[in-house]
Structure 1
Amino acid sequence: MATRFKQYTDVSQFLSDSFQRGLAHWNKERLAPGLGQGDWQRTLERDHRMLRLEAAFLEELRSEICAEAAAVPTDPAAFLNWFEELKISGPGQNDDLFPWLAQHASPDQLKWFFEQEAAGEAGFDDLVAMTQVKLPVGPKLELARNYWDEMGRGNVRGMHGPMLIALSETLEVEPLIENTVWESLALANAMTAMASSRRLAWHSVGALGVVELTAPGRSAMVAQGLRRIGLSDRERRYFDLHAVLDVKHSEDWNREALLPAVVEDPRRATAIAEGALIRLRCGERCFERYRARLW
């Protein structure tokens, strides 16, 4: 695996440190709420240039998995079976990194891992909000329910984003783009690209759905590692919550968003599959880089 990874990054202009950092800085700036100030023409020209690069990056990711996605069944029931099987056999699943984090990683190693994950976090709530624009009623309602859970059902203490920030403070890490490996930035950049482009809306539905599908097991093992080094239930809450809540989120997402979407238009199965596979391949690169650094 390591050899294939090195060869691929050697020939890609997009899967590189400088490109992903530049894209991450642009995403941070363009998504920040503004006041209508500055040179809008210069900003528009910059955004046009960056959007072309972002699109080329996504097309390269799609080229990796398009043949596999094209073979995915478009019958709704068969597609859902394929999608749910990704939890077992999808790229990056059952990686040895996570049992090691649970059982052996030192406090400093767990801090480094969390710093990478937190800095590469694109904001699941915002990604869901961007993705749901103009979706059909059934999928739109499921994304709305998911978003409401992400927002703590209206209670700031239950919001997932602030839980992540609180854990960063507990671990005394400050997630920064400059300190983050490009693989983690690429994952966040790919998720942001799919969610912010209406052309790739169904890809984003697949990518977000596969996060809900695959996150619980990894979250549980990270929580185990944090417990082992002495973090309290309150301090571990972010990972403990996702180890449990995302199981139900995944079941609901698959039943209420994916299934009716493919029933209505079987062509969506391929787009959803591409998004899911892109997300998993990006995660697989992260895990490989993390192991190389931590081991």
Structure 2
Amino acid sequence: MATQPEHRRSQFLQQDFQEELSFWNRHRLAPGFPDAATPSQLDRDRSMLRLEHAFMEELRAQVMADAAQAPTDPDGFINWFEGLKATGPGQHDRLFPWLAEEADRDELRWFLSQEAAGEAGFDDLVAMTQVKLPARAKLELARNYWDEMGRGNPKGMHGPMLGQLVDILELDTQIHHTVWESLALANAMTAMAASRCYAWHSVGALGVIELTAPDRSAHTAKALRRIGLSGSERRYFDLHAVLDVKHSRDWNDEAIRPLVEEDPRRATAMAEGALIRLHCGARCFSRYRAHLGVV
């Protein structure tokens, strides 16, 4: 008997829910004032936190068996983790060579609109994740965060680089115009960083972004070069095609390895986080290919 796609069986892998969660995340993470903490808002926050947790537990259930196969000794886990670059879900997806070689300007604009709208903000995710981590891992996340912040130079901040590209290409990043797969990726990353019960998951998820982003960034940068964008205009992707190679090596050596050395249980949690992130990305790539007609 044929099975239904996972999104048809889930109350969470749906457009309406992911939009609602996205709007709530924007509201709860935005700086505010005490008078916004009304009884009705606190009730809504409690309700949304329960739904967010259920969403995350559904994502965990989808990867737990595979994550349980990851070694829990430091050397074995690092080897397993680094192997995700070659064999992890969504890796070497045919979408990216197609973007680099064939996509026209409007197709690239649609793709980048989805990616920008689903960007949870790597700098903020790192900042939330590092709270109360052991010192060695905390220092590595601090170094990574400082790079994301342009080492104190506003022109070098990674977030505004992406914002510049949004403005140059006039991208549409409205939540209502973003596919649920992209929203789900951002919402999952936000949940792992913001909820301390998923802190180790977040370390794994952020680490696997650094591990796998360079190839995709290089293809995207090539596409932007092909349609005529200058070096400064495509700098966000050119930078991540190179810098994340070092970030990944340092993250694995200075954050993941010592965390596993201290407590092997963290390896399984980080494996789950990494696989959740990769599966969310793979869903995005599949949806993007379907929309763009990439065969």
Tell me the TM-score normalized by structure 2: 0.98
* Letter paired with 1:185: L
Runs of 5+ unmatched residues, structure 2: none
User: What does residue 205 of structure 1 align with?
Assistant: 203
Q: What's the offset of the Cα at 1:40?
A: 2.4
**SS of residue matched to 2:34:** coil
Counterpart for residue 98 of structure 2? 100
Q: Shift of residue 39 of structure 1?
A: 4.7
Cα separation, 1, equivalents of 2:212 and 2:174: 25
Give the aligned residue type for 1:156. Answer: P
Identify the residue that residue 86 of structure 1 maps to in structure 2.
Answer: 84
Taking the aligned partners of 1:218 and 1:38, their CA distance within structure 2 comes to 40
For residues 58 and 196 of structure 1, the distance between their equivalents in structure 2, rounded to whole angstroms, comes to: 12
The reply to whether residue 214 of structure 1 matches residue 221 of structure 2 is no
In the TM superposition, structure 1's runs of 4+ consecutive aligned residues that sit over 2 Å from their partners are 37-40
Q: Distance in 2 between matches of 1:218 and 1:281?
A: 15
2:232 paired residue among 225, 231, 234: 234
1:28 to 26, 29, 34: 26
C-alpha separation in 2, matches of 1:111 and 1:171? 7
Structure 1 unaligned segments of length 5 or more: list them: none
Residue 68 of structure 2 corresponds to 70
Q: Judging changes above 3 Å, is the alpha-carbon distance between structure 1 residues 154 and 69 closer, same or farther for their aligned structure 2 residues?
A: same
Report the residue type matching 1:163 in the other structure: M
* Whole-angstrom CA distance in 1 between matches of 2:213 and 2:266: 23
Aligned twin of 1:40: 38
- Alpha-carbon distance in structure 1 between the residues aligned to 2:5 and 2:142: 41
CA distance in 2 between counterparts of 1:104 and 1:65 reads 34
Q: Could you say what secondary structure the match of 1:122 adopts?
A: coil
Whole-angstrom distance in 2 between the partners of 1:223 and 1:12 = 35
The aligned amino acid for 1:168 is: V
* Alpha-carbon distance in structure 1 between the residues aligned to 2:129 and 2:37: 28
Q: How does 1:266-285 map to 2 (within 5 A)?
A: 266-285=264-283
Find the counterpart in structure 2 of residue 58 from structure 1: 56
- SS in structure 2 at match of 1:37: helix
Matched with 1:145 is 143
- Greater shift, 240-249 or 169-178, is seen at 169-178
Instruction: Tell me how far 1:36 sits from its aligned partner.
Output: 1.9
Tell me how far apart the structure 2 counterparts of residues 201 and 38 of structure 1 sit (CA, whole Å).
27
Q: Give distance in 1, aligned partners of 2:37 and 2:254.
A: 43
Q: For residue 175 of structure 1, report the CA deviation from its aligned partner.
A: 1.0
User: How many angstroms apart in 2 are the aligned matches of 1:38 and 1:54?
Assistant: 21
Shift of residue 174 of structure 1? 3.2
Root mean square deviation of aligned Cα: 1.0
Following superposition, the deviation at residue 222 of structure 1 comes to 0.3
Q: What does residue 189 of structure 1 align with?
A: 187
Alignment size in residue pairs: 292
